[in-house]
Amino acid sequence: MNPCEHSSERLNHPVRHSPRRWRACPALLPLLFLLLTRLLSFGQTYEAVSREISVFNFGTPFPSVEAISREVSVFNFGASFPSVEAVSREVSVFNFGAVFPSVEAISREVSVFNYRVPPLGFSVGSTNILGTEINQVPFTFLTLLDLTNLSLTLQADDSHLQILGVTPVSPEVVSVALGTVSSNGHPIAFTLNSGAIPATTHVLAWLNFQGITNLDSAIVPLIITHSTATRASGQVVPVATANGQVILIMTNSILVASAKPQFGITLYGLPGATYAIETTTNLALPDWQELERLFQGGPILPITGLTNTAAQQFYRTKQVGP
């Protein structure tokens, strides 16, 4: 700062600004005063030479405007340690997200049985009854499947047989329901324990029935229809079925031929009666010839020793004894 200027400003502060000449530096005032005094006192021309005064207007800054700081060493190591090397911990990353590293998927094994004959057999048996006898035939069952349900419809001639019920036998039968008879027959539904099914052919249940006497003797077929089975998985599988029959004897006898193991005839008749066995080779011109007379000791009378010499041979029987 210039002290002269400072002084000038201080003097001039409360008053109006003075002309510039009055703003000389106060340090020069004594010299000016001496010079005026000399001039006023003698009124003559004197030569006076002032001492040389050197004036150095050094302005606002100091003479040396250069400043040099001390050396300061600066090492910019930022946020890290002086050693700028940093090694992270190892991190193992296993990306098992949407796609595996090998991008591979393996399915479960599924086994398929492509069959010609369904691996599930169900049949109803055969028998014969006299008059109003009560009797039963077996429902025979064979499967290796894990079945939980088995349903079927049994067609039987209601004019000859009255279906009484179904009695479960095998341990896998949880329950059995005999539904109301309709035009299709008798609906029967088994509920099974899939884990308790024997692996061999076995009797699943008995079908109980009774003969009806208001008609004559008859062979009453027992026909299974609408049979399906359900596995534990829910899969519905078909059932291979075999039908049965009931030979109902009222008054007339019935002959049933069999071919295996060899030709033979079985006579179903009234026990205690005597029957004549007759044969012919032409039904258009019947010429029945009696072969033999047989006493029916029981409900079934096998007739053996028959020899057929013609291209076709017909047999009949009629009761000849009491």
Partner 1 sequence: MKIQIKAALILAACMAAFTSSLFAQLAIPSDGSDGALVISTDTVIDLSQAVTGNWTNNNTANVGKGIYDPNQWAVVFKYSSITIAPNATVTFLNHPTHAPVVWLVSSDATINGTISLDGQSWNAVTPNLNEPGPGGFRGGFKSQSGFGVGGGFGPGGYYGDSGSYSTYHSYGNEQIIPLIGGSGGGGWASCSGNYNGGAGGGAILIAASGTITFNGYCHANGGNGVFDGGWAFCHYQVDSFNGSGGAIKMIANQILGNGSIEAVGGSADAGSYPGRIRLEANTTSSALTLNPSTPAVLPNPLVIWPAATAPTVQVVSVSGTAAPADPKASMFGNGDDILIAQTNAVVIQLQTANFPTSGTVSVFIKPLTGAQSILPASFVSGNSGAAIWQVTTVLPLNHTVIQALAVSN
Residue 24, helix vs strand vs coil: coil
Among positions 15, 40, 98, 285, the unique one binding partner 1 when judged by CB under 8 A:
98
CA–CA separation, 191 vs 173, rounded Å? 6
Can residue 97 be called a binding residue for partner 1 (CB under 8 A)? yes
Can residue 112 be called a binding residue for partner 1 (CB under 8 A)? yes
Contacts of 198 (CB under 8 A, 6+ apart): 170, 172
Instruction: Check if the beta carbon of residue 246 is closer than 8 Å to that of residue 128.
Output: yes
Minimum distance, C-beta of residue 98 to partner 1, in the bound complex (Å): 5
Contacting range for partner 1; rule: CB under 8 A; set: 126-134, 167-175, 233-241, 314-322 = 233-241
Contacts of 38 (CB under 8 A, 6+ apart): 46, 48
Instruction: Check if the beta carbon of residue 1 is closer than 8 Å to that of residue 59.
Output: no
- Burial of 115: CB neighbours in 10 Å, binned 0-12, 13-18, 19+: exposed
- Burial of 224: CB neighbours in 10 Å, binned 0-12, 13-18, 19+: buried
Minimum distance, C-beta of residue 144 to partner 1, in the bound complex (Å): 5
Contacting range for partner 1; rule: CB under 8 A; set: 228-236, 241-249, 283-291, 309-317 = 228-236
Residues 171-200 that bind partner 1 (CB under 8 A): 194, 199
Residue nearer to partner 1 on the CB measure, 149 or 313: 149
Among positions 144, 257, 310, 320, the unique one binding partner 1 when judged by CB under 8 A:
144
Number of residues that bind partner 1 (CB under 8 A): 38
Among positions 233, 258, 289, 308, the unique one binding partner 1 when judged by CB under 8 A:
233
Contacts of 151 (CB under 8 A, 6+ apart): 187, 188, 189, 190, 226, 227, 228, 229
Can residue 89 be called a binding residue for partner 1 (CB under 8 A)? no
Residue nearer to partner 1 on the CB measure, 22 or 100: 100
Instruction: Point out which residues bind partner 1 (CB under 8 A).
Output: 91-92, 94, 96-116, 118-119, 143-146, 194, 199, 231, 233-235, 237-238
